[in-house]
Amino acid sequence: MKANSANLALMGAVLLTMVALLVPEYLPKRTWQLVPDEYAWLSIYGDELEGGPSHSEWIDDQPLHWRCRIEEQGTYVYCGFNVLTSENNRDGVDLSAYDEIRLKVRQLTEPRNLRLYMRNFDERYSTLEDANSPQYLNFNIRAQDLGQELVIHLNELTVADWWLAERNIPRDLARPTFSNIVAIGLDYGDYLPPGTYDLVIEKIEVAGDWVSTEHWYLGIIIVWLMGIFGVVTLRLVQLSQATRRDRRRLHALASQHRELKQEANRYKQMSAHDALTGAYNRYGFEKAVSELLADETRSEASLILLDIDHFKRINDTRGHNAGDEIITRFAKLITEHTRDQDLLCRWGGEEFLLLCPNTTVDKAFDLAEKIRKMIFNTQFSPEAPLLVTASFGVSEIGRGEEFLAALGRADRALYRAKDLGRNCTLMAEL
């Protein structure tokens, strides 16, 4: 019975959600009408004060009838009108919550293109002393689009190029902003020949959703999350006793999992590294080398093959335990004096291989010599002094060259070093 009630409640919630998802499509929009409005602050302007030929004048206010008259003499600059939204030209209105502006304008004379514009005052780049300092947003209206109600989305307005060029505005302030609009207007942006141009402005209004679609959907999600949270909380209360009973088992399983993970990591480490020295073994080294050489963008790389001289004699005279200690100390010395990116491998019993990425063969030779001298000057058994030396063969891994080919050249160089009396470094021949 409880399960059936829960299913019915869930079905009801889903149905209500589906209805709620459709609500934004049918909600009336919030509007703010600028024209007609008997209290609107209207301003007209022409360029006669600048020596231009345009004169702007109101013919009638019911409906709003505006005329731009262009004389024969002079060069046309501008002619327009605007609705002021600020008493002080600084504190305007925030249109960020609106998304469109609706216009109904009729041209009584020869149709001409118009320009819709807005001015946004921002103290970061605007001043009261400079009338052109508020951001200039505009949209060009074709003459054939007038005569019926025209809906222009605010995101269609762009910041005028001339305003950006004059102000040298930083990029983060150059985006269209509607947070403090101080004026909205229309003007003839294009050149006007001499004549009379009459315009009847029947409506200018901005519109937007009372609640944005994003916020509406976010509210639905929040309600669902709260409902889910309530159901989950109730369920957790009901299952609290079972949870406490199972917790001990979970802890035991978690402990086993940690032990298995540690064991897996240990085996993984053992599979790729030499147990005595901690250096790579052949399997781990070859895997790391194949990944390095697969990078086509890599730079040069070099190999250093080194072998402890007369190591069998050390084992025979000092014992295998002493030999293991020397190998361990030998690997530690190399690791301490090479870079983190260099790869050290115990290639054989007393034979080691060092891969040096981003290293020319000359630099690898210098490194080998440094290691050789360091080994020669190291006291490996202070309680029973023992001289340990090593021989080195150095080669470069050419681009596109197989690793084994470079290794073969390093091996031949190492054997030549042995033949020359050991305790020396030879560079492989190409």
Residue reference for tokens 């470094």: 425
Which residue, among 207, 210, 212, 209, has the nearest Cα to 31 in the 3D structure? 207
Residue reference for tokens 């041209």: 107
Q: What token pair was written down for 227?
A: 């409902």
What 3-state class would DSSP assign to 47?
Answer: coil
| CA angle (371, 377, 382) in 5-degree steps | 125
- Is-contact 416 392, C-beta < 8 A? no
| CA angle (180, 163, 54) in 5-degree steps | 95
User: Is residue 110 among the annotated active site residues?
Assistant: no
* Contacts by 236-244, CB closer than 8 A, 24 or more apart: none
Which residue, among 152, 162, 84, has the nearest Cα to 114 in the 3D structure? 152
Catalytic-role residue among 350, 369, 383, 401:
350
- Is-contact 148 93, C-beta < 8 A? no
Q: What token pair was written down for 100?
A: 């469109």
- Is-contact 40 34, C-beta < 8 A? yes
Tell me the longest C-alpha to C-alpha distance in the chain: 120
Residue 417, φ and ψ in degrees, nearest 5: -65, -40
Which DSSP symbol is given to 429?
P
Torsional sign, CA 10, 16, 19, 21: negative
| CA angle (345, 421, 277) in 5-degree steps | 20
Which residue, among 419, 284, 426, has the nearest Cα to 355 in the 3D structure? 284
Tell me the residue type at 95.
Answer: L
Active site (catalytic) residues: 350
